[in-house]
């Protein structure tokens, strides 16, 4: 238990570090991005520098279309449906009508700055930018979520089929590739954290969580369609998964779990009465646990994508000083990018593991039965 606690603390320190380093990176990009709007497009010399920051931000954030590549002024992209509910109407139209964020359709356009940057807004009567009441468009990230979900479903349904068909036989093909991971989650994560009696109840959720995160991470690293989308580096995605963990933890919390929160054993009484300091801290803990889950995965994945994109962008930044410079830098950049890509594969596994391990630990805490009181 102590070793687990220490591991958790180390994780949290790493997360905090990444979280703050990420905050250091973002403003720079935002500053760089703001240059675009102020600089004139005709000025080619000035145009290239701010484009890098914008490009990286566009890479890691959501968008209404799936942009593949551009040839000159011609953009090759997959147009995705926009679904809006505003002023009592449902509106569904293709994102191609927005012409890559250049045009507006029915008054809606992609905000270039402000609090709703990157999202569809319209001008209200005062000329202020306001978002629609409901925006459930199939964006790039949503589409990528669907693809990842489909991938996970197809893979594991086929594996389940081979388990049914080859009963009692040695695993084969995809089945034998996934089996070590399944066993790892079952034995080293679920069984160890939750305990022999209750782990089976949580296993389906933990498995789904692990493989969804893992596949999303890995597909996100793959640079071409259907990869490249930053699914797990999106706070909404990690937030929903953390919310699932939070709900399951809270629902399955037993008497002992709630007693530990509101009447923490092993602390002096004056920490609980008259000012309920410990209960307050513990109740906060209920919410910080899933919050940390959400932020850790998000920060890890988004920082990986940003740093990778940054290394590739270095080539173009140095390219400004001369073609030779670009070729020279590209050798190092690509070497670093390859190194980082491999690191990202490792992180994809580690973060999926950490998310599931902590979820399992929380379930274990919620269902723990005291045996030494």
Burial (Cβ within 10 Å: 0-12, 13-18, ≥19) of residue 217 = buried
Burial (Cβ within 10 Å: 0-12, 13-18, ≥19) of residue 90 = exposed
Nearer to other proteins, 19 or 316 (CB): 19
What lies within 8 Å, CB to CB, of 166 at 6+ separation is 172, 175
Q: 91-130: which residues touch other proteins (CB under 8 A)?
A: 115, 117-119
Distance CA 108, CA 209 (A): 36
Nearer to other proteins, 203 or 312 (CB): 203
Distance CA 220, CA 148 (A): 10
Q: How far is the CB of 98 from other proteins (least distance, A)?
A: 15
Helix, strand, coil shares of the chain, percent, nearest 5, are: 65, 10, 25
Work out whether 61 is an interface residue with other proteins (CB under 8 A).
yes
Nearer to other proteins, 114 or 322 (CB): 114
Work out whether 198 is an interface residue with other proteins (CB under 8 A).
no
Work out whether 203 is an interface residue with other proteins (CB under 8 A).
yes
Work out whether 78 is an interface residue with other proteins (CB under 8 A).
no
Work out whether 345 is an interface residue with other proteins (CB under 8 A).
no
Contact code string over 271-300 relative to other proteins, x by CB under 8 A: ---------------------------x--
Tell which residue, 200, 181, 180, has the closest CA to residue 190. Answer: 200
Q: How far is the CB of 327 from other proteins (least distance, A)?
A: 33
Work out whether 145 is an interface residue with other proteins (CB under 8 A).
yes
Alpha helices in 166-234 (DSSP H): 174-183, 192-194, 199-221
Q: Cα 191 to the chain's mean position, in Å? A: 26
Angle between helices 235-252 and 199-221 (to 10 degrees): 170
Work out whether 219 is an interface residue with other proteins (CB under 8 A).
no
Nearer to other proteins, 149 or 326 (CB): 149
SS3 283: helix
Among 137, 193, 351, 367, binds other proteins (CB under 8 A): 137
Tell which residue, 178, 188, 157, has the closest CA to residue 353. Answer: 188
Q: Cα 154 to the chain's mean position, in Å? A: 22
Distance CA 364, CA 270 (A): 29
Nearer to other proteins, 90 or 146 (CB): 146
Q: How far is the CB of 31 from other proteins (least distance, A)?
A: 13
Q: How far is the CB of 243 from other proteins (least distance, A)?
A: 8
215 touches 227 (CB < 8 A): no
Q: How far is the CB of 240 from other proteins (least distance, A)?
A: 4
Nearer to other proteins, 60 or 315 (CB): 60
SS3 103: coil
76 touches 70 (CB < 8 A): yes
Work out whether 194 is an interface residue with other proteins (CB under 8 A).
no
Q: How far is the CB of 164 from other proteins (least distance, A)?
A: 5
Q: Are strands 65-71 and 134-135 parallel, antiparallel or unpaired?
A: unpaired
Q: How far is the CB of 59 from other proteins (least distance, A)?
A: 12
Q: How far is the CB of 183 from other proteins (least distance, A)?
A: 7
Nearer to other proteins, 160 or 267 (CB): 160
Binding site for other proteins (CB under 8 A): 26, 30, 57, 60-62, 83, 115, 117-119, 134-139, 141-142, 145-146, 149, 152-153, 156-157, 159-161, 163-164, 167-169, 179, 182-183, 186, 200, 203-205, 207-208, 212, 234-237, 239-241, 244, 298, 302
């Amino acid at each position: 238990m102590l070793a687990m606690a220490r591991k958790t603390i180390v994780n949290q320190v790493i997360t905090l570090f990444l979280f703050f380093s990420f905050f250091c990176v973002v403003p720079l990009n935002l500053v760089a991005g703001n240059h675009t709007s102020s600089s004139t497009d005709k000025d080619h010399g000035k145009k290239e520098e701010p484009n890098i920051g914008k490009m990286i931000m566009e890479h890691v954030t959501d968008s209404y279309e799936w942009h593949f590549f551009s040839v000159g002024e011609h953009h090759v992209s997959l147009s995705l449906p926009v679904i809006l509910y505003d002023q009592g109407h449902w509106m569904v139209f293709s994102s191609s009508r927005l012409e890559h964020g250049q045009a507006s359709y029915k008054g809606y356009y992609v905000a270039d700055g402000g609090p709703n940057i990157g999202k569809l807004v319209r001008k209200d009567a005062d000329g202020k930018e306001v978002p629609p009441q409901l925006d459930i468009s199939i964006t790039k990230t949503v589409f990528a979520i669907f693809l990842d979900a489909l991938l996970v479903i197809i893979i594991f349904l086929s594996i389940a089929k081979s388990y049914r068909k080859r009963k009692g036989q040695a695993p084969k093909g995809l089945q034998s590739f996934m089996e070590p991971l399944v066993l790892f989650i079952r034995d080293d994560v679920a069984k160890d954290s939750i305990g022999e009696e209750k782990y089976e109840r949580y296993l389906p959720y933990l498995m789904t969580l692990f493989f969804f995160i893992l596949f999303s991470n890995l597909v996100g690293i793959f640079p071409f369609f259907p990869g490249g989308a930053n699914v797990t580096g999106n706070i909404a995605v990690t937030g929903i998964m953390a919310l699932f963990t939070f709900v399951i933890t809270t629902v399955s919390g037993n008497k002992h779990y709630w007693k530990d929160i509101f009447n923490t054993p092993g602390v002096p009484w004056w920490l609980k009465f008259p000012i309920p300091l410990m209960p307050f801290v513990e109740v906060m803990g209920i919410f910080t646990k899933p919050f940390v889950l959400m932020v850790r995965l998000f920060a890890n994945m988004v920082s990986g994508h940003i740093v990778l994109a940054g290394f590739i962008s270095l080539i173009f930044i140095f390219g400004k000083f001369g073609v030779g410079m670009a070729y020279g830098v590209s050798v190092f950049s690509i070497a670093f990018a390859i190194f980082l890509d491999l690191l990202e594969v490792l992180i994809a596994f580690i973060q999926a593991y950490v998310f599931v391990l902590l979820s399992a630990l929380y379930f274990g805490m919620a269902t723990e039965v005291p045996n030494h009181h």
